[in-house]
Structure 1
Amino acid sequence: MSDQDQSLFAAPPMGDQERMVEAVLFAATEPVTLAELARRLPHGSDPAEALAHLRKRYEGRGVNIMRVGEAWAFRTAPDLGHLMRRESVETRKLSRAAIETLAIVAYHQPVTRAEIEEIRGVAVSRGTIDQLMEMEWIRLGRRRMTPGRPVTFVVTEGFLDHFGLESARDLPGIKELRAAGLLESRAMPGQGLSQPAEDEDDSPRTGQSELFED
């Protein structure tokens, strides 16, 4: 094989590979995996190395390249997130029941519906599960190898992306959740304390899922 033929199969210079990865991530509407980058880049490219160089180049910038589950995406630097917030009044918010259900899935995944109900101490409305799935914050996991083979629930990459987490291992502790206003000062469900009964605010209303409250 001639030098000219070999050059046809040679990988692009690393600088060019970085530019290609940058272009793909910038144009992507969803986080991109290394496997997808490998499929898009020319033969012989090393997307992992190109991504590592690119991440270093974006350190300290207004946008960073962040890991979202097993994929990668451009995201606003964490310390500048407040600049992106829209000054608007929220007319609806997650109900206590929805927050607790989501927290249980996040911290105890994979978890079955029966286990969610056991931790909360109350029945879980089907509307809560359905709406959290429609929001693409939780999804079905593997079935348990137990009688009845119940399905389990786990959080999605969309959930991780929304809260700026690389994986469920990066979930904040109880103090951080309370400081962010996501938990009241009472104990978090599943922490070994007595469970509260379902209150009036947690019950579905006519024409309204329990996921939201006024």
Structure 2
Amino acid sequence: MSLDRELEALLFASATPLTVTEIARYLPEGADVPALLADLAASYATRGIVLVERGGAWLFQTAPDLAHVVQPARERPAKLSKAAVETLAIIAYHEPVTRPEIEGIRGVAVSAGTIDVLLAAGWVRPAGRRESPGRPLQYATTREFLVHFGLQNRRDLPGLADLKAAGLLEADIAPGDDSGAGDG
């Protein structure tokens, strides 16, 4: 049996995306996992499903140009409230971040329910405690966040210039740095 077939079966059967280290555990010792992944991704590049890396892990997903075909068949999750979307964006762009920092950026209190929704969705995780008075809990995004939003890492988040160009920010607010999210 060829290693590319073993890799394909492993990725197809996995319920979650797999890292190179996790994949290597299932293949013979010495297998060049990055090269095998690159070859397999290339062989799927023109098909209905593609092999992609998201958040340092590999998975099969629907080819981007065919998303409209499967969209009606997918279960639609409940929409996030405006507060949850704003909180998620703050966490993504400023992680690790504490609740008081989120509240300072938003200008309003963050309810426990808002963060609970993001935790339940699997997009946010506790990220330790800040070494400051009260030792507040910090929050950060998860690999599931990256997978859901089609990002390889946080650097792929749109920068201010991108958001302004898309009409999502007014041109006269937040002048200055127009780079992406950070070091992911």
- The 8 Å contact of residues 17 and 47 in structure 1, kept in 2 or not, is answered as no
Extract unaligned runs of 5+ from structure 1: 1-11, 193-214
Once residues 23 and 170 of structure 1 are traced to their aligned partners in structure 2, the CA distance between those partners, rounded to angstroms, is: 29
Q: Does 1:131 align with 2:127?
A: no
Alignment correspondent of 1:161: 147
Structure 1 residue 103: Cα displacement: 0.7
- The change in CA–CA distance for 1:191 and 1:110 in structure 2 (over 3 A counts) is farther
TM-score normalised by structure 1 residue count: 0.71
More divergent stretch after superposition (153-162 vs 115-124) = 153-162
Structure 1 residue 43: Cα displacement: 2.4
SS state of the match for residue 141, structure 1? strand
Q: Which has the larger radius of gyration?
A: 1
- The change in CA–CA distance for 1:172 and 1:82 in structure 2 (over 3 A counts) is farther
Deviations 1:64-116 (A, max 9, x none): 1111212100111122212111179x795211111100111111111111100
Structure 1 residue 191: Cα displacement: 4.0
Runs of 4+ in 1 over 3 A off after TM superposition: 173-181
Once residues 36 and 165 of structure 2 are traced to their aligned partners in structure 1, the CA distance between those partners, rounded to angstroms, is: 38
Once residues 69 and 109 of structure 2 are traced to their aligned partners in structure 1, the CA distance between those partners, rounded to angstroms, is: 40
Question: Which of structures 1 and 2 has the larger relative contact order (alpha carbons within 8 angstroms, sep 6+)?
Answer: 1
Structure 1 residue 186: Cα displacement: 5.7
TM-score normalised by structure 2 residue count: 0.82
Q: How does 1:1-214 map to 2 (within 5 A)?
A: 16-86=2-72, 92-173=78-159, 191=174
Once residues 49 and 77 of structure 2 are traced to their aligned partners in structure 1, the CA distance between those partners, rounded to angstroms, is: 30
Structure 1 residue 173: Cα displacement: 3.9
Alignment correspondent of 1:209: none
Task: In structure 1, give the amino acid aligned to 2:90.
Answer: I
- The 8 Å contact of residues 64 and 77 in structure 1, kept in 2 or not, is answered as yes
Alignment RMSD (CA, Å): 2.8
- The 8 Å contact of residues 138 and 159 in structure 1, kept in 2 or not, is answered as yes
Deviations 1:138-180 (A, max 9, x none): 0011322222222211111111111111111111345766898
Once residues 92 and 179 of structure 1 are traced to their aligned partners in structure 2, the CA distance between those partners, rounded to angstroms, is: 28
Alignment length (residue pairs): 174
- The 8 Å contact of residues 52 and 60 in structure 2, kept in 1 or not, is answered as yes
- The change in CA–CA distance for 1:84 and 1:92 in structure 2 (over 3 A counts) is same
